[in-house]
Structure 1
């Protein structure tokens, strides 16, 4: 009986966190969590990955993932298991979801129809992440820090000395 009560209490937490989500940390098969922009729709999160989009190794072919949602100040709100469903071009689900996701995509090159066409033609995946179990909440969260060293990235640059327009005189 206590499990049933706990799930009823946790479900509104997941529902409310999903409604307000713009970024989700998604981990596949116990791997590292990747921060992905997402769009909440009907109690689930929609995520696009692939060439020219965000990277989430293994998500396109996964059946399950773990999703962590955080608040405005970076603190974890809830972590929950998700069922991953890939939406395929040409299906009703794709026709309903892809225009919504494409319209919310920041800095999209070209109109929504071109972006959707690129997603369909390229090896991009539009995935629906649906809650699929009891969330980890409250006392079940780890007490220790889960901070990790940043992953190596090609975008890291060396810090340069600031440019000076004129010579600074000391008195």
Structure 2
């Protein structure tokens, strides 16, 4: 709230005559930048496929990438809320709830990271890297599922593990 009463830099500069405002030669004024811009990776290939007046290709229809896919994502996300809270409210460690929670966590994570791979590695621009990233995601998903299954069957389980970490 105190910043609302502080005079802004624009008001201070506007109140001074133009001859009094001087910037040093090495001074750069940049809004919302704390450092200079640096490019981490080179830009992807700049290729135009087809002509200017060609229509955009219509992708093949698939129920897995349409409204059913979106509904399944929302169902998993909403299902995580009661699955996360129920074991702690009930006060008992139920292996069925732990298994459902572990499955929902793995599915939710896989769907989210798959969306990241789809967004950041387009198939048209990076076909080989996209294939590698998809298989890397599948391997990580299987590894996480096997790890959670092993933790559930050979150790205390997800909710008891969280309770022990919380109290530690």
Q: TM-score by structure 1 length? A: 0.21
Structure with the largest fraction of helix: 2
Bigger-Rg structure (1/2): 2
Where relative contact order (Cα < 8 A, 6+ residues apart) is larger, the structure is 1
Structure number having the greater strand percentage = 1
Per the normalisation by structure 2, the TM-score is: 0.21
